[in-house]
Amino acid sequence: MAGTPDAIVVVDDAGRIAEFNPAAEHVFGLNRAEALGQDMIGLLVPARRRRAYRAALARFSGTGDQEALRRLHRRSATSALRADGTEFSVESTVLPLAAGGARFCCEVIRDTSDLTQATSALAESEQRFRLLSTLAPVGILQTDADGKAVFVNDRWCALTGLTADEALRQGWAGVLDPECADFVEAVWMDAQHAGEEFQAEIELRSRPGSVKWIEGTAVPLQDASGRIVGYLGIMADISARKAADAERETMLAAERDARRIAAENAERLLTAELKARKATEAARRKLDEQNKRLRELDELKTQFMTTLSHELRSPLTSIVSFTELLKDAKPPPGPQAAEFLDIIERNSDRLLRLVSDLLLLGHLETGSLPLDLAKVSAADLTEEAIRARSAPAYRRGITIEFAADDGPPLRIDRLRMLQVLDNLISNAIKFTEPGGTITVTARCDGDEWRIDVADSGIGIPAEDQDKIFDRFFRAANARIEAVPGTGLGLSVVQAIVDVHGGRLAVQSIPGKGSTFSLYLRAAR
């Protein structure tokens, strides 16, 4: 009794402690002397078990029947009470004893609280593992050391399309194609040799037509001594990631294609641009040459016109002079001769004006016309020009109104500028019906003079307005109404205004009239 590690408590038939060994002293935390003679049930049995205990003990003491006591102790949660009042789990064996005619009950009690704790910790951990495997989004398979499946979770079954029983029977290899299983095994072996965790991406064809991509991982399970006692296989569905990868790959390929096409197009564009640039360059060179040639021709033409006009002017001047002489001759020419002389005079006058205009234009264009610049009053100049044309206006029944500002003088070639105003006023008279009005105004804003010649005549068609300053151009209405003219007057006007650094503008409404505006800088 002294040597055994189990507590031994002997109880007499009245339930009092008759013996209490050293192990019992240690387990219950009580001295033998304190325990002896005490009511064992009241001292060592937790309150809730006392009644049943007393009944079983009474039965034993009365009849020697141990069965009730044994049954009591077989219950799983057998427990006892320590002296400090804490309850602990025990395993108890009951032995009947007889000595000196008395019946004793000997209980051999083993403290199993450590074992109970370990068992409950294990159960707890087991439960935690089951819970985790239920909740885990991955398939889990556990095998024993020989690779035989011992556990699968629901997700494993869902992924493989097998029932738990089938999954347990087939293990991990059964869910793969034989070829794939060989491959996995080979990779697994390699990983094991290298001391690494096995991991592989596998195509899983669990049911016909169902293809899933899974990532398989396997880790060995070891006991405390490091011995492999099983394996844990984990299977995660990576189909979505694989699909996304594939999609990204397709997109990248499309992007690469697009970039390649863009690069090709850019190159093609560049080549085309280079070609176009070369062609433009060639065309520009050709155009330059043509322009040069045209300029030469233009100069030749101007020279020719100038020479021709010059050559024509002398004979014309003499025709005009001699016609005048013949008209004034004594005795005067007969009526028919006088009429012929009038015709000769009119036509040679026209010719002379045309030739003079051409000659002047030639000089203006070649810059060979010297300007005789002087300060001239704009009002005086305008008035003088009007006066020169007042007789023909009067003859045509046209009124000329005139108004002018005071202001700084102009610095101009007076005769040439008179020619400008004369041309504008004669046109106004020519293109205005009898009874019409011409208004001439000279206005100054301090720096610039603006001289307007406005008429109430036939006007100029809109489409012709920007062409009337071209040489020999005559607007359609002027031609239709057979208003006499050469189409040179406004070219001369434009050329003279240009050499004076001025500008011209026209505003006209067909059927209502036209206003020609001449702008000239005031002299400083």
Chain center to CA of 489: 62
Q: Which stretch binds ligand ADP (CB under 6 A): 238-246, 310-318, 359-367, 426-434?
A: 426-434
Q: C-beta of 487: minimal distance to ligand ADP in Å?
A: 4
Task: Provide, rounded to whole angstroms, the least separation between the CB of residue 313 and ligand ADP.
Answer: 19
Using DSSP's 3-state secondary structure scheme, residue 97 falls into strand
Nearer to ligand ADP, 192 or 517 (CB): 517
Contact range with ligand ADP by CB under 6 A, out of 47-55, 111-119, 369-377, 423-431: 423-431
Q: In what order do the strands lie in the sheet with 210-222?
A: 149-152, 139-144, 228-237, 210-222, 198-207
Report the interhelical angle of 378-388 vs 414-430 (nearest 10°): 50
Nearest residue to ligand ADP, by Cβ distance, number only: 485
Closest to ligand ADP by CB, 9 or 475:
475
Q: Which two tokens stand for residue 119?
A: 């068992």
Among the listed ranges 22-30, 81-89, 289-297, 425-433, the one in contact with ligand ADP (CB under 6 A) is 425-433
If one asks whether residue 518 binds ligand ADP (CB under 6 A), the answer comes out as no
Which stretch in 13-21, 26-34, 235-243, 474-482 sits in contact with ligand ADP by CB under 6 A? 474-482
Backbone angles phi, psi at 401, to 5 degrees: -105, 150
As a whole number of Å, the CA-based R_g of the chain is 67
| Shortest distance (Å) from residue 497 CB to ligand ADP | 13
The 478-497 site mask, x for binding ligand ADP (CB under 6 A), equals x------xxxxxxx------
Q: Can you count the helices (H) and strands (E) in the chain? A: 16, 17
The amino acid that residue 65 corresponds to is D
H-type alpha helices, 367-482: 378-388, 390-395, 414-430, 476-480
Query: Cα–Cα distances in Å, from 361 out to 316, 495, 520?
Result: 18, 7, 20
Please say whether the beta carbons of 491 and 363 come within 8 A. Answer: no
The single residue listed with the structure tokens 């005559």 is 474
CA distances from 366 to 2, 257, 295, 329 (A): 150, 64, 12, 42
For residues 44 and 400, which CB has a smaller minimum distance to ligand ADP in the complex? 400
Q: Of the candidates 357, 456, 352, which has an alpha carbon nearest to the alpha carbon of residue 400?
A: 456
Rounded Cα distance between 349 and 347, Å, is 5
CB of 266 to ligand ADP, least distance (A): 54
Residue 161 · residue 244 · CB < 8 Å: no
Interactions with ligand ADP, residue window 444-473 (CB under 6 A): 455, 457-460, 468, 473
The size of the interface with ligand ADP (CB under 6 A), counted in residues, is 22
Rule CB under 6 A: is residue 474 a binding residue for ligand ADP?
A: yes
Closer residue to ligand ADP, CB minimum distance, 9 or 488: 488
Task: Pick the closer one to ligand ADP by CB: 295 or 350.
Answer: 350
d(CA 212, CA 311): 107
Closer to ligand ADP by CB, 356 or 514: give it.
514
Cβ nearer to ligand ADP, comparing 230 with 489:
489
Can residue 431 be called a binding residue for ligand ADP (CB under 6 A)?
yes
Contact in structure between 11 and 105 (CB atoms under 8 Å)? yes
Based on CB atoms, which residue is closest to ligand ADP, 128 or 479?
A: 479
- Min. distance of Cβ 317 from ligand ADP in angstroms? 21
Kindly write out the interface string for residues 380-419 of this chain, putting x where it contacts ligand ADP by CB under 6 A and - elsewhere.
----------------------------------------
Residue numbers at the binding site for ligand ADP (CB under 6 A): 423, 427-428, 431, 455, 457-460, 468, 473-475, 478, 485-491, 514
